[in-house]
């Protein structure tokens, strides 16, 4: 049946539907539905083998005209359900509108019979007007109210979907906000340690921190960015950490050029790299390496953050809030299209590997 698309709901291609496009879709789907209904009715009549060729042609004509008349009435029924829904607290004052609309549809169908009967031949001779109106009410009232009921079901389904989308977006924003104070606290502690002993280094770290915060504020409500943009922001964070750890931290970038224009969640790598440095590299005395990997693999984007640090027991530890938050974000954004794996062992380092759906930048509107 036709789907009522709210004005704010996104179409499958990601663009918000215009009222004109939404109307075209409703008309097109209504026409397809009643065409199918007429085809099934005529096919069943022919299978019964009743009547001669002239009678069968008359049935085809009457069925086609009746179905065509229901197309605008179907669109009207869904429009009525969307504009005047029977909701708790409002149904008493809105019910008369629906009763009047249903009676108006029955009257319109009776008028169509009067006008078109000489051509279609529903009746050999038109019955008296009261009988014609009673027949129209019997044939059309329940069907129209059924269409209005389906319209209500679709309307409430759309509202439920929109509510779920808002809840998911709010939860994703909350997950992102949990990470920012944690990162800011660690960085400010490092800056404070250099203010007196090495002012130049402290100034450089403040500059990089300012760059990070500016980007974070500018893109506070952005869900996805290109991998190139994500790596650029991550580079500012890595510069800060390399100042803190000096020669104890090495960072290796293994990124395919073909992957740089693909879309990834905004600020999803920084907490993973922070997790690797804090729980893998910081506890050890010897220098350590964090490797960031990104490459296309079959029909997915493989992204990994690996370290050769102290490791942890992957079965019993989470090694920080970064893993749990990133796992939740990916599950909310991509569902079953993503995979998030953690491989770690005490003394053998850790690796977080993610498989994300391929989302080229050109496929998503600005």
Per-residue pLDDT of 91-100, as tens digits, reads 888 999 999 9
29 and 19 Cβ atoms separated by less than 8 Å: no
Residue 365 pLDDT level (bands cut at 50, 70, 90): very low
The pLDDT tens digits of the residues spanning 157-193 come to: 878 877 777 666 666 565 555 545 666 777 788 788 8
pTM listed for this prediction: 0.54
Does the pLDDT of residue 16 top 60, yes or no? no
Beta-carbon count within 10 A of 101 CB: 19
pLDDT for the residue 24: 78
| Alpha carbon distance 4, 152 (integer Å) | 9
Does the pLDDT of residue 233 top 70, yes or no? yes
Does the pLDDT of residue 6 top 50, yes or no? no
Q: List the helix and strand counts (H, then E) for the chain.
A: 8, 7
Q: Going from the N-terminus, what domains does the chain have, and what CATH number goes with each?
A: 19-160 (no CATH), 195-363 (3.30.565.10)
Strand intervals (E) in the chain: 224-226, 249-255, 263-265, 288-297, 300-307, 339-344, 350-357
24 and 3 Cβ atoms separated by less than 8 Å: no
300 versus 223: the higher-pLDDT residue is 300
Does the pLDDT of residue 8 top 70, yes or no? no
pLDDT for the residue 170: 60
Beta-carbon count within 10 A of 54 CB: 8
pLDDT for the residue 5: 37
pLDDT for the residue 180: 57
The pLDDT tens digits of the residues spanning 63-87 come to: 888 889 999 999 899 889 888 888 8
The pLDDT tens digits of the residues spanning 235-291 come to: 888 888 888 788 899 999 999 999 999 999 888 898 899 889 888 898 888 899 999
How much is the average pLDDT of 102-122? 89
pLDDT for the residue 163: 75
3-class DSSP assignment, residue 142: helix
363 versus 225: the higher-pLDDT residue is 225
Beta-carbon count within 10 A of 199 CB: 10
Does the pLDDT of residue 13 top 90, yes or no? no
Lowest mean pLDDT among 49-53, 56-60, 190-194, 205-209: 49-53
pLDDT for the residue 86: 87
């Amino acid at each position: 049946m036709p789907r009522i698309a709210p004005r704010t709901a996104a179409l499958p291609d990601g663009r918000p539907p215009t009222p004109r496009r939404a109307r075209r879709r409703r008309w097109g789907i209504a026409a397809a539905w009643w065409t199918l209904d007429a085809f099934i009715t005529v096919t069943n009549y022919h299978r019964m083998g009743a009547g001669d060729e002239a009678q069968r042609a008359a049935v085809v004509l009457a069925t086609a005209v009746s179905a065509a008349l229901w197309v605008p009435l179907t669109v009207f029924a869904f429009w009525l359900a969307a504009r005047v829904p029977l909701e708790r607290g409002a149904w008493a004052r809105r019910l008369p509108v629906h009763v009047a609309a249903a009676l108006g549809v029955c009257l319109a169908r009776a008028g169509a019979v009067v006008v078109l009967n000489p051509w279609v031949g529903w009746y050999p001779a038109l019955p008296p007007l009261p009988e014609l109106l009673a027949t129209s009410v019997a044939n059309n009232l329940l069907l129209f109210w059924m269409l209005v009921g389906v319209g209500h079901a679709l309307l409430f389904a759309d509202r439920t979907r929109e509510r779920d989308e808002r809840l998911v977006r709010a939860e994703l924003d909350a997950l992102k906000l949990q990470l920012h104070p944690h990162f800011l606290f660690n960085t400010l502690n490092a800056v404070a340690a250099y203010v007196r002993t090495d002012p130049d280094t402290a100034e450089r770290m403040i500059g990089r921190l300012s760059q990070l915060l500016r980007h974070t504020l500018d893109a506070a409500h952005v869900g996805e960015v290109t991998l190139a943009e994500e790596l650029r922001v991550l580079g500012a964070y890595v510069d800060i950490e390399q100042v803190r750890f000096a020669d104890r931290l090495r960072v290796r970038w293994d990124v395919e050029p073909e992957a740089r224009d693909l879309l990834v969640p905004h600020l999803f790598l920084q907490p993973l790299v922070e997790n690797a440095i804090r729980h893998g590299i910081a506890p050890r005395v010897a220098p350590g390496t964090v490797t960031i990997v990104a490459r296309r693999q079959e029909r997915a984007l493989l992204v990994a953050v690996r370290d050769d640090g102290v490791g942890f027991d992957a079965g019993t530890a989470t090694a920080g809030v970064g893993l749990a938050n990133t796992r939740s974000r990916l599950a909310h954004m991509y569902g079953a299209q993503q995979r998030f794996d953690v491989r770690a062992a005490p003394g053998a380092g850790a690796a977080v590997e993610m498989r994300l759906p391929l989302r080229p930048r050109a496929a998503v509107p600005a």
